[in-house]
Chain A
Amino acid sequence: MRQNHDWRAGLVRRLRRSFGPGAKRAGRAGARHCYTVIALICSGLRAPFINSAKNGPLRHHPAPFLVHRVFCAMPLIAETKTLRISEPLALQSGAVLPSYEIAYETYGELCADKSNAVLICHALNASHHVAGVYVEEDGTVRAKSEGWWDNMVGPGKPVDTDRFFVIGVNNIGSCFGSSGPTTLNPETGRMWGADFPVVTVEDWVNAQAALLDALGIAQLAAVMGGSLGGMQATSWAMQYPDRVRHAVVVASAANLTAENIAFNEVARRAIVTDPDFHEGHYHAHDTLPRRGLRIARMIGHITYLSDDVMNEKFGRRLRQLANDVTQASTGPERDFQFSTQAVEFEIESYLRYQGDKFAEYFDANTYLLITRALDYFDPAKSYGGSLTAALGQVKASFLVVSFTTDWRFAPSRSRELVRALLHNQRRVSYAEIDAPHGHDAFLLDDGRYHSAVRAYFDKEVSHER
């Protein structure tokens, strides 16, 4: 698995210590203290007058689920499959892909009436490898090969592969096996590179529908995704209202704000202005625009975290120098190096590390394509800006989830979606999780978040309604 979450796992452990069960938590509405002053007049007919400061109901922090640990004695083995689709795919841009390949994985068993299929859509840099691990030829488990949503999907997990047939799919235009800039253009025999057509969320959904056709699945029990994956889940319910019973939309939005597009644009400019970009044909020049990708990833990482998490993890700590013997872990902080170029702070070191790693495994053209798909997604656009009208044909029930510290896909954006569903009298539940981890929270194992998703799949998705 090319997406390495080892740092993230460390962060999660740290956060658990600080914010987990038993740790002191702040109430959502601010101070929990209730300053109640009562002046009581014993007429009995008039109320005693009571004045109180803010005192929202307290948030409960249930124990995290441990069930999956019991079930996980036997790891879920993942196996990538590839489907070649010869039916042309007409893209929203007007371009046509005459044929294409889709990389996917499935977990669990499809039941006889094919009614238990759950499609998981990925976000910017993930893939079809949602859950499970890979096994080497000698039968050993490949190290760090867990799927990107392995804490959510698997036997006994919130999306339980003992009950559901779960499909992970790599979107076209991506770089993990489906047709995209790094695969060969069958018409030229050369790598697509920058010539791969611009794809949209709607195009991805159409390609995913073609995959379902090939698998003989007429209707999904649920489609689920976080962030850009949530946009696909929403779009599924609009594009194929009869093929989706439930949509689970996590940390997402019905379109990007100007600020969000701005972040994407900075990342794209970093890539295309890299001298090694060569207008997207860097492979022909036997190079990669690594510098641009690094900057793009650094910006992304900043926006996926919250200020609190960054301060918790890094604060203003200085990076330990290799030859500095005075800096023990308990000793005083070293002096500044008074350099504008050297890595001084831990946060700098972390961002550079993440950037370097990303630049080695992710394709620059893919980054451009996927951020553009994010920018373009706006289902309300063709309905005069009315999301309510855009969702008018939707039949699916929804579970919408957001995280309070997510400023890239803020709760207010999820509430817009909920409101539009309410106006259409659709069934919808909405969980707003008070998690400290920013946008990244949707990938992390939070008991409150997971118990809401688990309850939804157990009660709603499992039952024909």
Chain B
Amino acid sequence: MSGDDSMLALAALVPVGARVLDLGCGDGRFLAHLQNTRQCHGYGVEIDDSKVAACIARGVNVLQLNLDEGLQMFEDQSFDVVLQLDTLQHLRNAEVMLRETARVGRIGIVSFPNFAHWPNRLQVLLGRMPVTKRLPYQWYNTPNIRVGTFADFEVLAQANNLRIAEGFGLHGGTPRRWLPNLTASTAVFKFHT
């Protein structure tokens, strides 16, 4: 998730004092922000060695686990909020992970690159896979192995009985609530389980 503005917009979705599990927490910046500004506490999950050390160095609890192996570590409904910020699109078992998120947390918050953002559509119309600031990779080296749209997630959430409490787009750190599927490079959803 890029930019402080995006971080603020996402942090606003997390209830104050919540017990948080941040899947794919990176260097722990967001969790540290939640701890410092919203009195949250919790754990991050990260696979990368250097990011694990970075989390520890920030005072963020971090568990070095491979999310593709599931969330067996965590009990049902053991967190107020489970975050998957810019993580879902990297996972092979994205749907299973979404269900696991719902099992472990009372509230789920996901964000991922919105493939239906208009510049992406334009590039595809021109016959090429989109390469943008938000999707900077070529088709052959992208870590984004699950590419979905804002609208797709609504369908997936419904299929998994997740109640979407809030859904909006983010672009340049600014929420986009009007035609988010077209106007935003990032899709954000908050759902109840």
Contact = CB atoms under 8 A, between A and B. Distances in A.
A425 B129 CA distance: 45
A45 B149 contact: yes
B139 A54 contact: no
B52 A452 contact: yes
Contacts of B56: 399, 429, 431, 452, 455-456, 459-460
B78 A422 contact: yes
A68 interface: no
B64 A432 contact: yes
Contacts of A360: none
A47 interface: yes
Interface stretch (B7-15, B95-103, B140-148, B167-175): B140-148
Interface residues of B, number: 48
Given A60-B50, A422-B74, A455 B63 contact: no
B116 interface: yes
Given A448-B49, A456-B56, A38 B129 contact: yes
Nearest to A426: B61
Interface in B43-95: 43, 47-59, 61-66, 68, 73-75, 78, 90, 92
A54 B49 contact: no
B151 interface: yes
B152 interface: yes
A45 B66 contact: no
Interface in A437-465: 448, 451-452, 454-456, 458-460, 463
A50 interface: yes
Contacts, number: 132
Contacts of B189: none
Nearest to B57: A455
A57 B90 contact: yes
Given A399-B56, A455-B56, A458-B57, A48 B115 contact: yes
Interface of A: 28-29, 34, 36, 38, 40, 42, 44-48, 50, 52, 54-62, 399, 415, 418-419, 422-423, 425, 427-434, 448, 451-452, 454-456, 458-460, 463
Closest 4 pairs between A and B when the two form their complex, measured CB to CB: A52-B145, A455-B56, A455-B57, A448-B49
21 contacts: A34-B143, A36-B139, A42-B125, A47-B115, A47-B116, A48-B147, A50-B146, A54-B92, A56-B47, A56-B68, A60-B49, A60-B51, A62-B49, A62-B50, A399-B56, A418-B63, A422-B78, A423-B75, A428-B63, A448-B53, A460-B56
Given A422-B73, A428-B63, 18 more contacts: A29-B66, A36-B139, A46-B151, A50-B146, A52-B145, A56-B47, A57-B48, A59-B47, A60-B51, A422-B74, A429-B61, A429-B63, A431-B52, A448-B50, A448-B53, A452-B49, A455-B54, A459-B59
